[in-house]
Amino acid sequence: MTTAIPYTNANLHIGHAYENILADFLARYYRQQGNKVIFQTGTDDHGLKNYKSAKEEGISTKKFVDKHAKNVEEVFKSISSSHDQFVRTVDSKKHWPGVQKLWKAISKDLYKKKYTAKYCVGCENFLLAKEIVKGCCEIHPGKQLEIISEENYFFKLSDYKEKLITLIKSDKYKIQPKAAKNEILSFLKNDLRDVSFSREKSRLPWGIPVPGDKKQVMYVWADALPNYITGVGYGSNSNKFKKWWPAQTHIIGKDISRFHAIYWPAMLLSAGLATPKELLVHGFINDKKGRKMSKSIGNVIDPFDQINTYGLDTVRYYFLRSIPSNQDGNYSEEDLIDRHNTELVNTLGNLLSRSLNLIEKSGGKVPSGKFDISLKKEYTQALKNLNESVTNFDFHHGIASVWKFIAKVNQYVDKTKPWTLDGKKKEKVLYNLAESLRLISALTYPIIPNASEEIAKQLGIKKVPLIKSASIKVGTKIKKGKHLFSKI
Ligand code: MSP
């Protein structure tokens, strides 16, 4: 599992945090299913964008990118990102050897050419004439394009046209959602060109040296994309590489799909390496007016702010439940508060506290029982929908089903009224509540890890259970604690 690696030219906004929340959801989900997962993220430290921003601030580029890389790590920590690896492209020991090895492996497809092109520094991308709107790229309106005129190495991307079309059409490299796949196929058919893969060092000294040519450094994307393989040992640890490559999932935003769906698999094909299995392309987090959140527009929301104000689980829940993973969404604090109060406080929080109150009043231990058929049915459906939502890359559907199950357990309490029962009848209901909460702890772990752990803890279970684990042990002593969430 990988995310895109953010540029280290500015502090991250909530849109960047969103991507890592989606990825973390998936990584935790796969681990819950009993899979071994290596989840990788990192920073993209080279390129003209970082170099220019450092110049503007008047500090050395290395100092500048290190400062922002720290911010990236802190943001990922603040969202409880469970990544196993953090790759930095500025790391000349761990990243560069693999990148240079890959360069050599694709050198049969590299040739030198003098050319002139329009370049968007914001995207680190060369633009086609038809992509230029009022002299700018669509994603960075108002940002002057650079005219680049120099001699560079070109990568024979156009030679891979047919192979890429077959790879993507057949879903051997599966691109989701369908709209992103179609857009890529259309670009492949109509607009594929060879691409400059290096820069003259005299103009851009900040980059990985091209092997065998002291005058050139690599184009930032030619150095950044290979993080996906250098992180798992390409160029440094062949056993690790054999074990983990190809990646199961690359998750990225829609502005960089072309690099991941075209450049990257072409580079791998050229080097004779396996291509990743799937590319998930998420939408943009926009501001209230529907404009993409970005530093250049000045409409960014700070992730620390939101997490400090509302709590991590609430922010995670809002992103995963409210914004369809494969579409854009406008960030709305009203919606976030509304979902917090109804779905987290009322539906989930109340279920835990009322259930544990009842068990506590009956001796504080989980009684014996057999799981109720209608609850089991709803749980099985929730799990099925959650699994399907991962396959279909529409996580919000699966999460809605998990909450349907939680609501069903609440209805079960209302219907059975355990406070009016005693003896075996009461025990049966209390067992069902404890077992349901155990399943809820497992189901919610990828979404709201803190609350999920708290549920397990209050149930008297040491660790959040795996999806396929056995039912709750009779006699487990519950440890009723604080409310999961409080009303905003
Ligand atoms: N450095 C490149 C990625 C290289 S991957 C080998 C890059 N960096 S970025 O900082 O601009 O973006 C990092 C990720 O955040 C991208 O997937 C991008 O789409 C995503 N997002 C940036 N702004 C975003 C929103 N407003 N909303 C959602 N995702 C956002 O691209």
**pLDDT tens profile 336-353:** 999 999 999 999 999 999
Active site residue 260: no
pLDDT value, residue 75? 98
Nearest Cα residue to atom 15 of ligand 1? 16
Residue 466's SS3 state is: coil
The catalytically annotated residue of 140, 254, 260, 426 is 140
| Mean pLDDT in residue range 431-443 | 98
Atom of ligand 1 nearest to the CA of 12: 10
In the chain, the percentage of residues whose pLDDT exceeds 70 is 100
Mean pLDDT over 146-155 rounds to 94
In the set 101, 295, 365, 428, the catalytic residue is 295
CA distances from 154 to 158, 195, 199, 222, 268 (A): 11, 5, 10, 11, 16
Rounded-to-integer distance, Cα 286 and Cα 283, Å: 9
Choosing from 46, 95, 120, 181, the catalytic residue is 120
Q: For residue 328, which of 390, 279, 297, 286 has the smallest C-alpha distance?
A: 286
Residue 209 has pLDDT above 90, yes or no: yes
Mean predicted confidence (pLDDT) in 76-101: 98
Task: Report the pLDDT value the prediction gives residue 118, as an integer from 0 to 100.
Answer: 92
Scored b (16 or more CB within 10 A) or e, 82-118 reads bbeebbbbbeeebbbebbbbbbebbbebbeeeeeebb
Residue 307: pLDDT over 90: yes
Mean pLDDT of the region 263-270: 98
Mean local confidence (pLDDT), 77-83? 98
Q: Cα(188) to centroid of ligand 1, in Å?
A: 22
**pLDDT of amino acid 293:** 86
Q: Say how many Å lie between the CA of residue 292 and the centre of ligand 1.
A: 11
Tokens at residue 414, please? 């209302």
Which of 81, 256, 280, 325 for a ligand 1 pocket mutation test, highest count of atoms within 8 Å of Cβ?
Answer: 256
Beta strands in 156-247 (DSSP E): 174-176, 195-196, 198-200, 209-210, 213-218
- The pTM (predicted TM-score) of the whole model is 0.96
Residues with CB under 6 A from ligand 1: 4-7, 15-16, 18-19, 44, 224-225, 227, 252-253, 255-256, 284-285, 292-293
Active site residue 46: no
Radius of gyration of the chain (CA): 25
List of domains in the chain: 332-488 (1.10.730.10)
Determine the pLDDT at residue 292.
85
pLDDT given at position 304: 97
Mean pLDDT of the chain: 96
Whether the pLDDT of residue 142 is over 90: the answer is no
Nearest alpha carbon, ligand 1 atom 5: 4
Give distance in angstroms: CA of 284 to centre of ligand 1. 9
Stretch 443-450: mean pLDDT, rounded?
98
Report the distance separating Cα 458 and Cα 353, nearest Å: 10
16 is catalytic: yes
Mean pLDDT throughout 446-468? 96
Is the predicted pLDDT of residue 322 greater than 90, yes or no? Answer: yes
What pLDDT is attached to residue 150? 94
The predicted structure's pLDDT at residue 140: 87
Q: Report H helices in 79-146.
A: 96-105
* Mean pLDDT computed over 426-434: 98
Is residue 120 part of the annotated active site? The answer reads yes
pLDDT tens digits, 29-41: 999 999 999 999 9
Which two structure tokens, joined as six digits, stand for 403?
């909450």
Q: Would you state the pLDDT for residue 297? A: 77
| pLDDT 10s digits, 130-140 | 889 888 988 88
Residue found by looking up tokens 């991590």 in the block: 312
pLDDT above 90: residue 143 = no
pLDDT-based confidence at residue 437 (cuts at 50, 70, 90) = very high
What is the reported pLDDT for 294? 77
Q: Per-residue pLDDT tens for 281-303?
A: 999 999 988 988 877 778 999 99
Ligand 1: centre distance to CA 4 (Å): 6
